[in-house]
Amino acid sequence: MTKEKYNTLSKEILDASITVHKEMGPGLLESVYELCLMRELISRDILVKRQITIPLYYKGVELEKEFKIDLLTENEIILEIKAFEILLPVHSAQIISYLKLADKRLGFLINFNVSLLKQGFKRFVNDF
């Protein structure tokens, strides 16, 4: 995927997230926002999958630990959905881990429990 395609898709993801936030407002469960955002992205003809499992490998051996990506768009961009009053460093570490383990270049940590969604929208890159 080209940088131009990443940027175009990123703008669509931000706009879709703002649309969901305006429609639903803050204060709901993460699962509500996840499903609503998935529906909004699909309505924009964006390929999206939810609850994608990432296995953990160490020295070529699969370990008994799996992680789940909330949403994966166009098989490239990870969306981690939150609904917290305050995001903690562990939330950033979570998406950074997902990017590395899934070998993806771009991800967004989206916290819907804010008054203005742009305040809860964080971009993370992995070798981008």
Burial class (CB in 10 A: 0-12, 13-18, 19+), 70: buried
- Confidence at 1, pLDDT banded by 50, 70, 90: confident
Mean pLDDT calculated for residue range 89-104:
96
Predicted pLDDT at 80: 98
- The pTM of the full predicted model, rounded to 2 decimals, is 0.94
* pLDDT of 128 strictly over 70: no
Q: What is the DSSP letter of 103?
A: T
Mean pLDDT calculated for residue range 85-99:
95
Contact 101, 52 (CB under 8 A): no
